[in-house]
């Protein structure tokens, strides 16, 4: 029995059941928690402006259908509202959902050309199947793109390639997914010069963007080392025997396969450039992937009808998993409609006391860990939390760089595991991996990252970072 077959045999709870359970919990919170709101300047909250809103906590609201909402009065979400939140979440995440489907289709075309299998055989033959060299090398490359440039969704394209490589080595899809995901998260939660969180979080606490990069570089090296060690350990646990001789086809690639692979490599390179140069959104990225699919089919000499069929086959493989992205987004829809999100933020900031710098820094980290479960968007979490955390940090003796560090750690570590993260669900979709299986696989790394984060925050506080 292969590692993937073992995984499927004991997978237990379906991820859709997990997400629906979280959605019902969010609905319950709109009855159990107070509703409130902060004043905002654009998307940024104004510290000290939180106000509780009047709200009826009657369970009779559960069966309200089409009730009118008053702007100065909160209302818990009904069962009908919970169901409506699902299509609203699908609509909200439509850009990401369709992009994942198109990537699945593109990989279907790439697979049909035969270039992927031939290229992997040539690569593994050159490396003699040595995963203990190949895996760390790939993880260093992927994490560097993440921590220095903020690459994340751009790696969706390479995840199927890593899964195919893992299968060729007799490993599970989980390992192939982990090579990319663990590396990207290790880089992202350190964010040495990642412009996405730093350009928002640092100015909000009075810092120059990209300042303090030296200590974050140290954090990056620590997290990356732990991540690489974990993936290599999981490879050994799956029974990979480096001493076992494996036969790989080391013949030179055909001209057609070589040309196709060059198109893929150059396509990825231009994708990274274009996405950063012109700030492409899901729409532009999806259009780019459609264009790449056409070029790959042409270079790979695939007939139009065959390419179309391969594209549809690829989309079918990620259809169910990509739909989970929209269901996860429904959680945020419910919390926003019940107006409890700001109340939760207000409550979590209570974890940050004034009993000293170290407890405050750890409290900030804990608050960000929990908050990221509800607001998985990095920029969204920064806009809501940093205007509040900055002044609280000053009162507690926590330096502004450490305040930003606590935000980065909390945001990055939770996104490694949370089922409400659209990016993580997109990764799972393209790898065709069940969230429950992924959670079991990565749980102890998640715990280890939390421990390492607390140690690094302690060091940051001790040196006055």
pLDDT digits (tens, 9 = 90+) for 290-314: 999 999 999 999 999 999 999 999 8
Give CA torsion, residues 224, 226, 228, 229, to 10 deg.
160
- Give the pLDDT confidence score for residue 249 in this predicted structure: 56
4: pLDDT confidence band, cut at 50, 70 and 90?
Answer: low
Is 152:188 a contact under the CB 8 Å cutoff? yes
Higher pLDDT, 61 or 13: 61
419 domain-assigned: yes
Does pLDDT of 363 surpass 50? Answer: yes
Residue 238 within a domain: yes
**pLDDT-wise least confident of 3-12, 168-177, 260-269, 390-399:** 3-12
Domain presence at residue 114: yes
Q: With the CA atoms of 222, 227, 228 and 229 taken in that order, what torsion angle do they form, in degrees rounded to the nearest 10? A: 90
Q: What is the mean pLDDT of residues 133-147?
A: 90
Average pLDDT value for residue range 440-462: 96
C-alpha span between 370 and 366 (Å, rounded): 6
- Which residues are within 8 A (CB) of 350 and not within 5 positions of it... i.e. 6 or more apart? none
Half-sphere exposure of 240 (CA within 13 A, CB side): 21
Q: How many angstroms separate the CA atoms of 204 and 391, rounded?
A: 10
User: Is-contact 1 9, C-beta < 8 A?
Assistant: yes
Residue 333: inside a domain, yes or no? yes
DSSP state of 74: B
Q: For 383-407, what is the mean pLDDT?
A: 88
CB 425 within 8 A of CB 396: no
Q: For Cα atoms 22, 23, 27, give the angle at the middle one, nearest 5 degrees.
A: 115
Tell me the pTM: 0.82
* Phi, psi angles (nearest 5°) of residue 431: -90, -10
Residue 114 falls in which region: left (phi positive, over 0), alpha (psi -120 to 50) or beta: left
| Strand 44-45 with 40-41, pairing | antiparallel
Segments forming the whole domain that contains residue 375: 18-23+33-41+77-462
Please report the pLDDT score of residue 9 as a whole number. 42
Give φ, ψ of 150 to 5 degrees: 80, 25
Residue 66 placed within a domain? no
55 has which bridge partners?
A: 74
Measured between alpha carbons, how far is 455 from 387 in angstroms, rounded to an integer?
Answer: 25
Q: What is the average pLDDT across 107-122?
A: 83
Cα 244 to chain center, whole Å? 35
Predicted pLDDT of residue 306? 94
Which DSSP state fits 55? Answer: B
pLDDT number for residue 405:
95
CB 373 within 8 A of CB 419: no
Residue 11 CB burial class (10 angstroms; 0-12, 13-18, ≥19)? middle
Which pLDDT belongs to residue 182?
97
At residue 68, the pLDDT reads: 55
pLDDT tens for 144-192 read: 989 998 888 778 888 988 998 898 888 899 999 999 999 999 999 999 9
Does residue 400 form part of some domain?
yes
Is pLDDT above 80 for 236? yes
Question: How many structural domains are present in the chain?
Answer: 1
For 322-338, the pLDDT digits (tens) are: 778 888 888 889 988 88
What per-residue confidence (pLDDT) applies to 358? 92
Report yes or no on 215 lying in a domain: yes
**Average confidence score pLDDT of the chain:** 85
Give domain status of residue 349, yes or no. yes
């Amino acid at each position: 029995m292969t590692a993937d077959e073992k995984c499927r045999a004991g997978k237990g709870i379906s991820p859709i059941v997990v997400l629906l359970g979280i959605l019902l919990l969010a609905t319950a919170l709109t009855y159990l928690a107070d509703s409130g709101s902060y004043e905002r300047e654009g998307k940024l909250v104004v510290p000290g402006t939180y106000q509780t809103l009047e709200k009826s906590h009657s369970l009779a609201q559960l069966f309200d259908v089409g009730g009118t909402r008053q702007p100065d009065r909160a209302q818990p979400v009904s069962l009908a509202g919970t169901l409506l939140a699902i299509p609203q979440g699908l609509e909200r995440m439509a850009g990401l959902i369709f992009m994942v489907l198109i990537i699945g289709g593109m990989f279907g075309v790439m697979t049909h050309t035969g270039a992927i299998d031939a290229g992997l055989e040539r690569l593994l033959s050159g490396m003699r199947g040595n995963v203990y060299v190949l895996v760390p090398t790939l993880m260093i490359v992927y994490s560097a793109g993440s921590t220095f440039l903020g690459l994340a969704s751009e790696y969706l394209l390479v995840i199927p390639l890593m899964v195919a490589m893992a299968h060729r080595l007799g490993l599970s899809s989980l390992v192939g997914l982990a090579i990319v995901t663990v590396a990207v998260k290790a880089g992202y939660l350190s964010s040495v010069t990642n412009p996405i969180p730093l350009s928002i979080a640092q100015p909000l606490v009075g810092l120059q963007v990209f300042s303090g990069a030296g200590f974050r570089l140290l954090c990056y090296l620590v997290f990356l080392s732990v991540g690489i060690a974990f993936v290599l350990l999981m490879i050994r646990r799956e029974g990979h025997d480096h001493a076992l001789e494996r036969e790989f086809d080391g013949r030179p690639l055909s001209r057609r396969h070589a040309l196709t692979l060059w198109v893929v490599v150059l396509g990825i390179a231009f994708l990274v450039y274009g996405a950063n140069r012109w700030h492409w959104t899901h729409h532009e990225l999806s259009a780019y992937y459609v264009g790449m699919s056409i070029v790959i089919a042409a270079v790979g000499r695939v007939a139009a009808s065959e390419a179309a069929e391969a594209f549809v086959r690829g989309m079918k493989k990620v259809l169910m998993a990509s739909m989970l992205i929209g269901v996860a987004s429904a959680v945020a829809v419910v919390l926003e409609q019940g107006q409890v999100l700001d109340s939760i933020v207000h409550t979590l900031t209570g974890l940050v006391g004034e009993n000293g710098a170290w407890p405050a820094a750890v409290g900030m980290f804990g608050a960000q860990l929990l908050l990221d479960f509800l607001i998985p968007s990095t920029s969204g979490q920064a806009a809501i939390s940093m205007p509040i955390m900055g002044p609280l940090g000053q009162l507690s003796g926590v330096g502004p760089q450490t305040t930003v560090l606590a935000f980065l750690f909390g945001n990055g570590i939770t996104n490694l595991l949370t089922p409400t993260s659209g990016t993580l669900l997109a990764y799972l979709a393209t790898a065709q991996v069940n969230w429950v299986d992924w959670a079991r696989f990565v749980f102890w790394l998640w715990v280890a990252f939390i421990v390492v984060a607390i140690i690094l925050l302690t060091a940051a506080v001790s040196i006055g970072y």
